[in-house]
Structure 1
Amino acid sequence: MHALMLAVWATSAWGGPLRYAEDRAPGIVNPLFTTTMSEARINELLFEGLFADDFELRSTGRLAESFTVAEDLRSMTIRLRRDVVWHDGDGFDAQDVVFSINAYKDPATASSEAGRVSWITKAIVQDPYTVHLEFANPEYAPQNKLQFKILPSHRFPSTSIKRTDGFRTQPIGTGPFKFESFNGDNSITLKRNDRHWSAAKLTEIAMREVSDKNYQARLLVYESLEALVQVLPRDLATLENDRKVELYPYQTNSWWYFGLNQRPHRSLSSARVREALALMINVDQLLEPIGTGDRVSGPFVRSSPFYNHDVPPLTRDPDRGAELLTEAGYTRPGQSWIGPDGKELRLKLVTLSNLDTAMDVVINVQSQLAELGVTIEPEFLGIAEYRERVWRDHDFDIILSQWSFDRSEEIYEQFHSDGSRNFIGYHNAGVDDLLEKAKLAADPQQKKALLRDVHARIAKDHPMVFLWTLDNYAALSTRVQNVSMIHPFYFFTWASDWVFGQ
């Protein structure tokens, strides 16, 4: 199969489509329902927000031409570009912006991205190219929150939009590339949008589904791909020494963790047991075989303004872990720890089967904890079963995963008691209060102080074993030129500048 893929994919003419790989093709192309990074990346090529990041990661106008913020910071007026056209030829205007905000907010839509607009209380069309927004609280820099993607109002009968709407397979945006086709091999073809104001240099981009992450690097070496979003650590040396490949380091707002299910009747509902488990794990030993990176002590990357550097990563101390288990009513008459209920401490650990290097981490932690009397039962799940078991049924004790954030680093949904992504069942009324205040804070310094306090409190509760943020590298064929840098979250933000060189 691999040989056939190489033969077929290598037939593309030099200077043809830029081909990049995803472990799994996007299941849906609709910004309202983005839940995976592969979906976020392809959305970046097809759709646009009012603002986007420049090379200094400052918000600059995209669909917005200019804006004015009121003196009381509770509203803003945005003037829109007049040279924007939807991929189907319809003109873009203020109604599209207002419609999109209302669609994200509509409870009947149940958008996974609704939190991006929850701070906007009203969106008003002032004229065809002017929008007025009103906010629930003062906003110091509202443009930083206005990067969510805008949808074509003329393609929907109302703001109540279903995930199954036909738009998901026939998306219409204003971005530099337009949707061409979903293909039988799960690939997606995009064509250049010749009407786009940026005048993209590439004529075509093709997303290829390559579930075997180990094989992606070979496809790049054999010139059957032009781009890898993330290089496996084991492939770095090979690609670095290939004169036809250029590596691009980039820092993501992404961190790994073991999430601990704290719901009633679970072993990990006990704070002592959670802390004991955290103290028994040698995180440095887990990291060593999979790459390099920085350990983290809480829910932010170390470069974040919200990271609390006064909270050090936990130091391994299995003896103290054993003391905590004893305090929690556990005994160890033999090899295994026995709980107050007379049952062996056995923990079900689930993770995605296609999560990079997850198997290495799981086998390693399973071995570590077995020596200390804790049995780990690993399960590697496909995406559908994973969503059902983790998100819906909460049928797990431990989850190995990673969270990726844009630069807003909004962790409300993950750690607030009512958060839509708080599938570990974490609850702390004090943290809830701080998260609510941080969400409303207009002063950046106040928000920084609040979230650093959140970091400290969460670390003390041990709802997760916080692991690391990995050093990331993208790899591109040297034929792809004018690549100044890679966006740390969306990857393709500046792809309009990329060009096939001679």
Structure 2
Amino acid sequence: MIKIILLLFFSLNLIGCKKSEPVKSAEKDDKYGDYYVESSIGDATYLNPILASDSASGDINNLIFNGLVKYDKNIKIIGDLAESWSVSEDGKIIIFNLKKNVKWHDGKSFTAEDVEFTYKKLVDPKVKTPYSSDFEIVKKFEIINPYKIRIVYKEPFSPGLISWGMGIIPKHIFEKGDFNTHPANRKPIGTGYYKFVEWKTDEKIVLEANSDYFEGRPYLSKYIYRIIPDQSVQFLELRNETIDSMNLTPDQYNAYKSYFKNYSKFKYPTFGFTYLGYNLLNQLFNEKEIRQAIAYSINKKEIVDGILLGYGLPATGPYPPTSWAYNPEVKDYEYNIEKAKNIFKKYGWSDYNKDGWLDKDGKKFEFTIITNQGNKSRSVACELIQEHLKKVGIKVNIRILEWSTFIHQYVDKKNFDAVILGWNLSRDPDQYALWHSSQKKEGQYNFVNYENKEVDKLLEDGRRIFDEKKRQKIYQRIHKILADEQPYTFLYVPDALPVIHKKFTGPEVAPAGVGWNFREWYVPYEQRKYEMSK
């Protein structure tokens, strides 16, 4: 997989682009000039692709760094820093030929040593990365010459090629100092088509076009990422045309015609899901049937209809319906309060003192759901779940937290009872990082502490097999097990509902997202707001 990331809200998936022509002179019909201003409800955490796990950081890192490969508009793997490659018949060896005309933003040449250094950091136990499992399976990394590398795996590894979509970092910058706290994590130097300018915490991140980019500089001169923690404030900024794009809530999207005549709207299914995850270290959630009873207690249709207004679907498991790993035979949990109450009673939970709440051994069935601020859909989901569980006698508290605090002080440290979050998934169905029992350390993605020996083996087998039909059976089995065991209550698969200012020429919906060709976007001369040309 390239990455599975914690979904803050939505991004334009700025992951690939066509080759552009060399920079022309600044004539009136020149495409080069103007800025793109985007907003986010949360700030980035690390401008380092090895350390970052959230979508805000990913938005910026995708512009600053390149991997060896990437996806094109149709989710086909194409070269990025790699000119070409070959994979052995047994899938255990990949040879990459690297591009020779690539420069780091400080002018140094990109070479195979940078790729080797990136690999070594990914498998260094002292480095706090959630992506190590994709690279620990490498047996040998060999530099053949400055622009050719040979990677030998311990065993066949089907996601091996796309795993090298990981952003490559510069050896000459990071070889000295502590990697986890290095100053370059806030002032990055990459090879990407935008260069870092400044980062004002909780205010904005500014990037500028890389005129030396190996495929040609982007048309837009600057990219400004503003931190606006409240969606309603973002909405007002959009109406005032002080930001250029936003992913609307369904109610905002329905109000589009009366407010946003200067914006183009788009709608397409996201490749991810929103969920209620349980900390399985909490004794309340030890039993599978208790988690199933909670699922029966939640009126998912009301959540989907009330929050998404038809712009999305209920989730039945860890794969969205658009994934080839999706299991159509898995049925969703019906809303059935009586069935839920009977299960709770079976495990000794009943309203013994007649106060309206379930209790057992004098202790009330009570827990807290946490989620991040600024995401209206998640906060409303918390409130609806609170109401639903109250009907069966479970007391739910809600805590809304600032994004960085939420991730680093609560999720990473497993300091929660239950959490509402979302995953933005890789197109490859390998979810080893989410569910394998080896991935439960602080900062890794199995923060609900799920463990199942059959799932572990299935995940391991799915990585060794290249035949898609055989892999499909494996992942459909995983889908069925997780739906049964309910380490998450899988809530919904939302549609992405972005609007983008009409002054931009180039936005196009594709399987890779509406921003797949962002480097080719431009503003016609007469519509420019910030800059005429450069």
TM-score under structure 2 length normalisation: 0.86
1:328 aligned partner, one-letter code: Y
Other-structure match for 1:431:
455
Query: Is 1:103–1:161's contact at 8 Å kept on the other side of the alignment?
Result: no
1:494 correspondence with 2:512 = no
Query: Is 2:174–2:182's contact at 8 Å kept on the other side of the alignment?
Result: no
Quote the offset at 1:452 in angstroms.
0.9
Q: Which residue of 438, 442, 447 corresponds with 1:418? A: 438
Quote the offset at 1:27 in angstroms.
2.5
1:35 aligned partner, one-letter code: S
Quote the offset at 1:358 in angstroms.
2.0
Q: Which residue of 293, 298, 306 corresponds with 2:312? A: 293
- Which sits farther off after the overlay, 67-76 or 78-87? 67-76
Other-structure match for 1:90:
108
2:325 match: secondary structure: coil
Other-structure match for 2:288:
271
Query: Is 1:250–1:486's contact at 8 Å kept on the other side of the alignment?
Result: no
Q: Which residue of 376, 379, 397 corresponds with 1:359? A: 379
1:500 match: secondary structure: coil
1:463 correspondence with 2:487 = yes
- Give me the whole-angstrom Cα distance separating, in 2, the residues matched to 1:47 and 1:492: 16
Q: Which residue of 105, 110, 118 corresponds with 2:136? A: 118
- C-alpha distance after superposition, 1:427-458 (max 9, x if no partner): 22211221222233233222221111111111
1:326 correspondence with 2:345 = yes
Quote the offset at 1:424 in angstroms.
1.9
1:170 correspondence with 2:194 = no
Query: Is 2:74–2:510's contact at 8 Å kept on the other side of the alignment?
Result: no
Other-structure match for 2:424:
404
Other-structure match for 2:81:
63
Q: Which residue of 46, 63, 73 corresponds with 2:64? A: 46
1:382 correspondence with 2:402 = yes
Quote the offset at 1:89 in angstroms.
0.5
When residues 25 and 492 of structure 1 are mapped into structure 2, their CA distance, relative to the original with a 3 A threshold, is farther
Other-structure match for 2:476:
452
Quote the offset at 1:418 in angstroms.
2.5
Q: Which residue of 216, 220, 238 corresponds with 1:202? A: 220
1:62 aligned partner, one-letter code: D
Query: Is 2:508–2:515's contact at 8 Å kept on the other side of the alignment?
Result: no
Other-structure match for 1:9:
none
Query: Is 2:429–2:475's contact at 8 Å kept on the other side of the alignment?
Result: no
When residues 277 and 99 of structure 1 are mapped into structure 2, their CA distance, relative to the original with a 3 A threshold, is same
2:85 aligned partner, one-letter code: F
- Which sits farther off after the overlay, 206-215 or 408-417? 408-417
Q: Which residue of 133, 154, 157 corresponds with 1:136? A: 154
When residues 185 and 257 of structure 1 are mapped into structure 2, their CA distance, relative to the original with a 3 A threshold, is closer
- Give me the whole-angstrom Cα distance separating, in 1, the residues matched to 2:515 and 2:114: 23
How is 1:186-225 mapped onto 2 (pairs within 5 angstroms)? 186-199=203-216, 200-225=218-243
2:83 match: secondary structure: strand
Structure 1 portions without partners, runs of 5+: 1-13
Query: Is 1:351–1:401's contact at 8 Å kept on the other side of the alignment?
Result: yes
Q: What value does the CA root-mean-square deviation take over the aligned residues?
A: 2.2
Query: Is 1:272–1:327's contact at 8 Å kept on the other side of the alignment?
Result: no
Query: Is 1:389–1:396's contact at 8 Å kept on the other side of the alignment?
Result: no
Quote the offset at 1:247 in angstroms.
1.4
Quote the offset at 1:140 in angstroms.
5.1
Query: Is 2:130–2:445's contact at 8 Å kept on the other side of the alignment?
Result: no
Other-structure match for 1:235:
252
Q: Which has the higher contact order (CA 8 A, sep 6+)?
A: 2
- Give me the whole-angstrom Cα distance separating, in 2, the residues matched to 1:140 and 1:393: 31
Quote the offset at 1:192 in angstroms.
0.6
1:126 match: secondary structure: strand
- C-alpha distance after superposition, 1:323-368 (max 9, x if no partner): 1111111222425344432222112222222334222111111112
- Give me the whole-angstrom Cα distance separating, in 1, the residues matched to 2:113 and 2:413: 39
Q: Which residue of 96, 99, 121 corresponds with 1:103? A: 121
- Give me the whole-angstrom Cα distance separating, in 1, the residues matched to 2:339 and 2:437: 29
1:330 match: secondary structure: coil
- Give me the whole-angstrom Cα distance separating, in 2, the residues matched to 1:237 and 1:338: 40
When residues 184 and 417 of structure 1 are mapped into structure 2, their CA distance, relative to the original with a 3 A threshold, is closer
Other-structure match for 2:23:
none
Structure 2 portions without partners, runs of 5+: 1-31, 527-534
- Which sits farther off after the overlay, 369-378 or 171-180? 369-378
1:90 match: secondary structure: coil
Query: Is 2:504–2:523's contact at 8 Å kept on the other side of the alignment?
Result: yes
Query: Is 2:157–2:463's contact at 8 Å kept on the other side of the alignment?
Result: no
2:497 match: secondary structure: strand
1:357 match: secondary structure: helix
Query: Is 1:253–1:409's contact at 8 Å kept on the other side of the alignment?
Result: no
Identity of aligned residues (%): 23
Query: Is 2:367–2:395's contact at 8 Å kept on the other side of the alignment?
Result: yes
When residues 371 and 141 of structure 1 are mapped into structure 2, their CA distance, relative to the original with a 3 A threshold, is closer
1:93 aligned partner, one-letter code: T
When residues 73 and 385 of structure 1 are mapped into structure 2, their CA distance, relative to the original with a 3 A threshold, is closer
- C-alpha distance after superposition, 1:182-236 (max 9, x if no partner): 24772111111011133211111111111111221322232211122x2221211
How is 1:136-155 mapped onto 2 (pairs within 5 angstroms)? 136-139=154-157, 142-155=160-173
Quote the offset at 1:388 in angstroms.
5.4
1:309 aligned partner, one-letter code: P
Quote the offset at 1:119 in angstroms.
3.3
Q: Which residue of 190, 198, 217 corresponds with 1:181? A: 198
Q: Which residue of 263, 266, 279 corresponds with 1:248? A: 266
- Give me the whole-angstrom Cα distance separating, in 1, the residues matched to 2:516 and 2:132: 22
2:306 match: secondary structure: coil
- Which sits farther off after the overlay, 119-128 or 90-99? 119-128
When residues 385 and 193 of structure 1 are mapped into structure 2, their CA distance, relative to the original with a 3 A threshold, is closer
- Give me the whole-angstrom Cα distance separating, in 1, the residues matched to 2:303 and 2:432: 28
1:440 correspondence with 2:464 = yes
1:24 aligned partner, one-letter code: G
Q: Which residue of 414, 419, 434 corresponds with 1:394? A: 414
- Give me the whole-angstrom Cα distance separating, in 1, the residues matched to 2:268 and 2:156: 33
Query: Is 2:272–2:422's contact at 8 Å kept on the other side of the alignment?
Result: yes
1:497 aligned partner, one-letter code: E
2:400 match: secondary structure: strand
Other-structure match for 1:7:
none
1:483 correspondence with 2:507 = yes
Other-structure match for 1:473:
497
Quote the offset at 1:72 in angstroms.
2.7
- Give me the whole-angstrom Cα distance separating, in 2, the residues matched to 1:77 and 1:394: 39
1:470 match: secondary structure: strand
Quote the offset at 1:371 in angstroms.
2.2
When residues 403 and 16 of structure 1 are mapped into structure 2, their CA distance, relative to the original with a 3 A threshold, is same
Quote the offset at 1:19 in angstroms.
0.5
When residues 181 and 110 of structure 1 are mapped into structure 2, their CA distance, relative to the original with a 3 A threshold, is same
1:480 match: secondary structure: coil
Quote the offset at 1:379 in angstroms.
1.4
Other-structure match for 1:308:
327
Query: Is 2:43–2:404's contact at 8 Å kept on the other side of the alignment?
Result: no
TM-score under structure 1 length normalisation: 0.91
- Give me the whole-angstrom Cα distance separating, in 2, the residues matched to 1:406 and 1:483: 22
